[in-house]
Amino acid sequence: MRKMGEWLKAMQEEMKTLHENHTFELVKLPKSKRELKNKWVLRLKIDENFSQPKYKPRFVVKGFGHKQGINF
């Protein structure tokens, strides 16, 4: 269970950073449009010099749903 808590903490920090950097903007979705699909990519970084592993989550949008000039 400890690992799950570590992942949640790291994911919350990532969302906080994305919000502070104005990476995205939440807007009301028009009726004729669908939302972009997204997912979390989780990576556990283990370094020989550190005793604690680093939990590195990334929140990404699945790229095949983008349309140039509309979604990005």
Confidence of residue 66 (pLDDT cuts 50, 70, 90): low
Q: Structure tokens of 46?
A: 């283990």
- Write out pLDDT tens, residues 4-21: 899 999 999 999 999 999
Asked whether residue 67 carries a pLDDT value surpassing 90, the answer given is no
Asked whether residue 58 carries a pLDDT value surpassing 90, the answer given is yes
How many Cβ atoms from other residues are within 10 Å of residue 59's Cβ? 15
Averaged pLDDT of the chain: 84
> Could you give the CA distance from residue 55 to residue 14 in angstroms, rounded to a whole number?
11
Asked whether residue 51 carries a pLDDT value surpassing 90, the answer given is no
Residues 6+ positions from 19 with CB-CB distance below 8 Å = none
> Could you give the CA distance from residue 52 to residue 33 in angstroms, rounded to a whole number?
44
